[in-house]
Structure 1
Amino acid sequence: MAENKNQKHFILVHGLCHGAWCWYKLKSLLESTGHRVTVLDLIASGINMKAIQNVQTFHEYTKPLLEILASLPPDEKVIVVGHSLGGMNLALAMDEFPNKISVGVFLTAFMPDTLHQPSYVLEKYLGGVTEELLQDAQLVNIGSPQIPFTITFMGPKFLSSKLYHLSPVEDLELAKALIRPGSLFTEDLSKAKNFSDEGFGTVTRVYVVCNEDNVMVEEFQRWTIQNNPPKDVLEIKSADHMPMFSKTQEVCDCLLEIANKYAQGN
């Protein structure tokens, strides 16, 4: 096969309690268009063997992504897509490796700023969380009063009515089998230094809104965009919180559009 000179390299970063497995449809679709795609399990996610209660910091949780970026050839730039909480991992990667990322794509994701501590957008979101939203999901503090650490467990009702309500039932069943406890690392991020204008602030950002998201509702997504305006905003209609399942082709089309517009010459 002749080399595709326009080939781009996408790195897809999963969200809370999920793993590399959630990208299986999108990965194959993007690869069928001639692009490279890397998916990864963050620490204590997917098939990574560590337990979430043994992960000390958000930086440690993000290590697999940081290691991939550190291993790239000097002349290679990638497009990194962060879904949901994965937007925070993306932001950390942008801050540490701004010269390695041509564009950061926030897919119905948390997108921090440089004016506040990294936990700011998470705390803003958690301030609006209700029992109705949580359903059978649980936030459990397993730390101490001195060092709190909150773990999230997602139950089947929460998955079916909030995350996957427009996704194929087969993918909901896959999630029920594969999700693991996770953490937003809010306590750790509340003590972390701000993301920098020199790192995070220099990388092109694009936000993709999913207007039928029952977890990160459109109002919050729009607030996130207003709080730290990105270079561009795209929207996927009738997409739930898991657009890689509910609107796979549309997500693929969005990423190809973003790549063509903001990652030329990489």
Structure 2
Amino acid sequence: MSLLEESGLLPVALDLTGSGIDQTDINSTTSLEDYARPLITCLQSLPDDEKVILVGHSCGGAIVSYALESYPRKVSKAVYVCATMVLNGQKPFDVFSEELASADLFLQESQFLVYGNGRDKPPTSIMFDKQQIRALYFNQSPPKDVALATVSMRPIPLAPIMEKLSLTTENYGTVRRYFIQTLDDHILSLDVQERLVRENPPHGMYKIKGSDHCPFFSKPQTLNKILIEIVQIPLENALNDPS
């Protein structure tokens, strides 16, 4: 955030429902609409002549796509940072489905389901094991950043990532998308990221070498440089692939 501010930009970090400092009970988040509400409220509040660039990380990519479908005229560009850039009719969870079979044991050891409404009801969220979290998210990040992140992490609601997105060319398809790949990512493997780009081609694609799943910790300068470059791309420009 500070690097972007130093470049003269006005970044805003929104906490989704039940995330960060938002104290909403995560067990009551039962849809993408619920989860995305803070972002949608922000877009609704924008003046008619103002647009923003949305940046989504990890599962937040689905929230960006949901927002593009809901308010395409409020968004000039969308950036997916190793994020779930799904197709129409896909669930965010589908992005990980191909790896679940081979990585089933590892995932069982690294996360657990939270039954916030009781064991007799479906699980409501996923909470990662803090003993394994560095290997999953922060395998290249500085220890001080990892320490802060592990303290502030909250459970991830299950319902939104299990919901199929409805995306149309008339709305979602009108906004230019850019994808940033992280090449040493242990959560979203490079094979999966390549498949996302291949199946749902963005207008531009970038790669960050040596970055784990959280480039804002492991490669902040490189990420900042890419984001500024995307900001400066004229909207009338053709497909950009500087990788």
- The verdict on a shared fold, with TM-score over 0.5 as the criterion, is yes
Is residue 136–residue 154 contact of structure 1 (8 Å, CA) maintained in 2? Answer: yes
Question: Which segment drifts farther, 254-263 or 91-100?
Answer: 254-263
Match for residue 28 of structure 1?
2
Corresponding residue for residue 244 of structure 1:
216
- Displacement after TM superposition at 1:183 (Å): 1.9
Change in 2 beyond 3 A, CA 1:239/1:204: same
For residue 72 of structure 1, report the CA deviation from its aligned partner. Answer: 0.8
Q: 1:146: Cα distance to partner?
A: 11
For residue 227 of structure 1, what is the amino acid of its counterpart? E
TM-score, normalised via structure 2 length: 0.89
**SS of equivalent to 2:11:** strand
CA distance in 1, matches of 2:163, 2:137: 24
Equivalent position of 1:44 in the other structure: 18
**Deviates further, 48-57 or 177-186:** 177-186
* 1:122 equivalent among 82, 93, 101: 93
Q: 1:203 aligns with which of 144, 154, 175?
A: 175
Matched, 1:233 2:214: no
Distance 1:49 1:150, change over 3 A: closer
The worse-fitting range, judged by mean Cα deviation, of 175-184 and 134-143 is 134-143
SS for the counterpart of 2:141 is coil
CA distance in 2, matches of 1:146, 1:99: 43
The one-letter code matched in structure 1 to 2:187 is: V
Q: Does the 8 Å CA contact 2:113/2:123 hold for their aligned counterparts?
A: no
1:131 to partner: Cα distance: 2.0
Structure 1 residues 137-146 or 41-50, which shifts more? Answer: 137-146
> Residue 179 of structure 1 aligns with which residue?
153
Cα drift, residue 145 of structure 1: 11
What is the rounded CA distance, in whole Å, between the counterparts of 1:28 and 1:247 in structure 2? 14
1:134 shift after superposition: 4.8
In the alignment, is the contact (CA less than 8 A) between 1:209 and 1:233 conserved in 2? yes
Three-state SS of the structure 1 residue aligned to 2:53 is strand
Q: Is the 8 A contact 1:106 1:208 kept in 2?
A: yes
**CA shift at 1:100, angstroms?**
1.0
1:37-186 matches, within 5 Å, as 37-114=11-88, 117-119=89-91, 121-129=92-100, 130-140=104-114, 148-185=122-159
1:132 Cα deviation from its structure 2 partner: 1.6
For 1:95 and 1:41, the matched residues in 2 are separated by 20
Contact 1:86–1:110 (CA<8 Å) still a contact in 2? yes
Name 1:18's counterpart in structure 2: none
* 1:185-222 CA-partner distances (Å, limit 9, x unpaired): 257514x5x21111111110110000000000110000
User: 1:157 deviation in Å?
Assistant: 2.7
Deviation of 1:56 (Å): 2.2
| Structure 2 contact 31–160 (Cα < 8 Å) conserved | no
Classify the secondary structure of the residue corresponding to 1:139: strand
Q: Distance in 2 between matches of 1:95 and 1:199?
A: 5
Equivalent AA in structure 2 for residue 178 of structure 1: S
Deviations 1:221-246 (A, max 9, x none): 00111111111111111000000110
Task: Give the unaligned 5+ runs of structure 2.
Answer: 237-243
CA distance in 1, matches of 2:24, 2:221: 33
1:162–1:215 contact (8 Å) kept in structure 2: yes
Any unmatched runs of 5+ in structure 1?
Answer: 1-26
Identity rate of aligned residues, in percent?
A: 31
Q: Is the 8 A contact 1:84 1:109 kept in 2?
A: yes
Give the Cα separation in 2 of the matches to 1:29 and 1:171.
16
Structure 1 residue 89: Cα displacement: 0.4
